[in-house]
């Protein structure tokens, strides 16, 4: 029941609708807090998964994210968690629709939308980068 309610509100806020299908391709993202790699977010044929990095587990200053309190757990879901989904703006916004059309993006490819729109959020201080890009930045390249 809660899943249906959450899907409804995510659909309303995103413009995707309740019955939209996530056509995400395989993707790997790294969530950063400054230069600290906090967690890895992945999508593959089994859905979404998320786990904290070894660098995050080794430090004591930054606390785990509230929706993901267990640092040694690998989280799994068939749908992108709201913590990340809020980074994808609604296609009902004209500027978002124009960008999606101009760049020939599939709005139902949630991973592609997260890659295009999800790097920064006004909701939190984290930056979400594609894994390859984050690896280069962390290596100083």
Q: What is the pLDDT of residue 73?
A: 97
pLDDT-derived band of residue 131, with 50, 70 and 90 as boundaries?
confident
Q: Are strands 124-130 and 120-121 parallel, antiparallel or unpaired?
A: antiparallel
pLDDT at 16 over 60: no
Number of structural domains found in the chain? 1
Q: Within a domain: residue 107? A: yes
Q: What is the pLDDT of residue 20?
A: 61
How many other C-beta atoms lie within 10 A of the C-beta of residue 79?
14
Q: Within a domain: residue 61? A: yes
Global pTM value = 0.80
Mean pLDDT for all residues in the chain: 84
Q: Within a domain: residue 141? A: no
pLDDT-derived band of residue 123, with 50, 70 and 90 as boundaries?
confident
Beta-bridge mates of residue 51: 40
Which domain range does residue 113 map to?
A: 2-136
Give the pLDDT confidence of 62-95 residue by residue, as tens digits: 999 999 999 999 999 999 999 999 999 999 999 9
SS (HEC) of 56-113: HHHCCCCCCCCCCCCCCCCEEECCCCHHHHCCCCCCCCHHHHHHHHHCCCCCCCHHHH
């Amino acid at each position: 029941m809660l899943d249906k309610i959450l899907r409804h509100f995510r659909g309303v806020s995103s413009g995707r609708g309740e019955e939209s299908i996530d056509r995400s391709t395989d993707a790997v993202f790294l969530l950063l807090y400054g230069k600290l790699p906090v967690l890895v977010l992945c999508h593959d044929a089994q859905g979404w998964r998320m786990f904290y990095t070894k660098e995050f587990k080794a430090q004591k200053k930054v606390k785990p994210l509230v929706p993901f309190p267990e640092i040694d757990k690998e989280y799994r879901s068939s749908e992108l968690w709201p913590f990340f989904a809020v980074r994808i703006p609604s296609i009902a916004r004209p500027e978002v629709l124009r960008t999606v059309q101009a760049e020939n993006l599939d709005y139902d490819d949630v991973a592609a939308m997260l890659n295009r729109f999800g790097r920064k959020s006004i909701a939190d201080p984290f930056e979400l980068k594609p894994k390859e890009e984050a690896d280069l930045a962390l290596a100083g390249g």
